[in-house]
Structure 1
Amino acid sequence: MATISSLHIRASDHHSRLPRISETDQLRHTNQIVTLPSPISRRDANLVLLGSLPLTTFFVLPPSSSEARERRSRKVIPLEEYSTSPEGLKYYDIEEGKGPVATIGSTAQVHFDCRYRSITAISTRESKLLAGNRSIAQPYEFKVGSTPGKERKREFVDNPNGLFSAQAAPKPPPAMYYITEGMKVGGKRTVIVPPEAGYGQKGMNEIPPGATFELNIELLQVTPPEESSSWWLRKCAFGSRENLVKEKEKMETSLRYSANSRSLRIHAKEKLSVHSKTHLQLHGELDTRAGSPSYLCAMIRHFFHEASTNIGVGLHYDKSQKLRGFVRGKKKFPLRTDALLTFNIKGRCDFDQDFNHRNPKGAAEFDLNIWKFEKDQDLRLRVGYEMFDKVPYMQIRENNWTLNTNLKGKWNVRFDL
């Protein structure tokens, strides 16, 4: 088989044998058809084309410069400038955004890119049609705080002929389901994803098994959760609305009954936002048998989201111990990436008007939150140990019902209205 160089030489020789066109002929009107006196065979024409291949390099258009421009503008962010999420992930907000905040239970639409060593392995900006012949950017929609793989299968209809489906969408890493919490619409966040929060020991596309990669998220839209969202979405999961500063201000009412009081009590709680991470919490309880308040309480609570901690200082009044102050605190340690299993430590100390401390309490406990235990049913199991009273205790919560008990025979039940 002849080499390219030999073909080029033969094509040049053949070109030298072609008839010359005079300068006067070249100046004729461009629409005039030029005819050659001798015909060219198909074989000779192929040789001419092969010989002209080196010239085509001068006419190849350069690739689109948008990606190159993006790479040049991307700055290297020092690791010490990254923040740490409650789950231990390192993240950096490139743009904060100015729209609504993504909270636990809200529905978010995002564009995300998984990059491994400057290679974009997975991206919603290159979602494939089922026909496989085109690439279209398709946002990914999910519920913030949900368990990966448990969300309802979706059908995207805002595309040509509805060819997209949930199965065809790129698979995000589990970390995206909770690291998006706290972002604002329009914001962009980059996250360092370890294997346990990414694709594990299986890998995905160009991301090898057990690899750490970079996740870039752009929050496009947030839909708030419905008012009928389960208590798990509203209160129990780590970093949930109870721990968010801008939670909806509303009164919470419950009915309570315990073995000690032997009477039904009506409990009310109101939260008023004071600062971005602080709110005023008011409590009151009415004893239906006595027809008078059993206690009143006012407390200032401050949240340290990155440290998974909150503290409270307030005043408490009841019929037996009169007025007293107290200090309380709680810290959570997530034991799973989805924060459904946590280890908590909490404590409280009361003091009288002379600042003598009394009734100290401290406990260590485990919380297991089971979302959708049954249809329209959520469950929380809590097991702990009270340090000062030296007694184990447990709690079972199912939707609006809560049962607390310990090994000394004390118990109480609560129903949230």
Structure 2
Amino acid sequence: MHVRHLTVADFRSYTGADLALRPGITTLLGRNGQGKTNLVEAIGYVASLSSHRVATDQPLVKFGAQRAVVRAAVVREGREQLVELEITPGRANRAKLNRSPLPRTRDVLGTLRTVLFAPEDLALVKGDPGERRRFLDDLLVQRQPRWSGVRSDYDKILKQRGALLKSAAPYLRKGRRGSRRADGIDPAEAAADALRTLDIWDEHLATVGSQLIYARLRLMRDLVPHLQQAYREVADATSEVTARYRSSLHDEAAAAIAAGEVPEPEQIRELILESLARVRGQEIERGVSLVGPHRDDVILGLGEMPAKGYASHGESWSIALGLRLAAYRLLRHDLGDDPVLILDDVFAELDSGRRERLAVMIADCEQVLITAAVVEDVPEGLTGDTVHIRLGEVSSAPSSEALEDPVAVPAAPDEP
């Protein structure tokens, strides 16, 4: 799998840009602030419908423009497909595949698969649990795009359940029951209604949440051996990296899962309901949902110690890089072909030993896109095409062959 051509319009700093690509290694070279990361961000967006740099779409649209357009010609097993995305903050984004509109933007997921490693990935080791949950869930979607819908369903359930906890709290908290209020509401009746509704949302959360937890646990089982191997290779170390899933379920269930047990979805569903029953009082007091995949974490370790807080800067980089390389190898194994590997300003953060070892590890990848500020940051062994980025201008295209049939036709105002 590789990207043959990328076109952007009003994306980030670009009014318009075309980038011709071919298999092998391509280095996007330019000083900081010139726009090289914006281009690989656009490719990553085509694969995941999200940015590795920001949580919302608004910053992706050039200031003063109403929308951004990204097009990518993707080649897999000799067949080319054209993905077109229209990004419009505040409105539903739109997508086309081979010029045909799709009913849902997420229907393009799976057309292009990428693994993107960037300086922000240090947060996978040192950051909050949400960073590691997102890593797992994004990888689930890369493996099987249907998980995008499951994630969306769970987020909606969680939002509705949280709203109920907050709105019903005055009637559910101890000591709030009493005589009928001036507005005609009987606190006891309101509390009973709220509890019945909460039971319904508990069922929804347990049903969808159990699917997500089960998928994460199976993913962890497949991923960890790749992580351990990748860490050994990139760090050239004898210490072993570990990863265990920390669940928000009650203590007995959480301990079993942390030890590597993978319960069946129906069993996880029952465990979620049981755990919710145990913390209901706390949830009512705090007005938040305390059990479910949104409260879970992945605990990364190095030897006997947790990586967060104990691993050195270099070790943390090696673990983060190991996670991305493990994801790459897992996708390669699952799909039978290579996703596109993107290394965004990574080599500047690594010492010479890690640089050289990483270069050896990625030498056989079908397509590698590297961004760098200076050519000295890229190991000499990684030879290939070089594209210069200066003030948003793309120059030194790799070959006339790659430039054939570019997809640079501007979008009409009423379609992506």
TM-score by length of 2: 0.22
* Higher share of residues assigned strand: 1
- Rg larger for: 1
User: Structure with the greater relative contact order (CA < 8 A, sep ≥ 6): 1 or 2?
Assistant: 2
TM-score by length of 1: 0.22
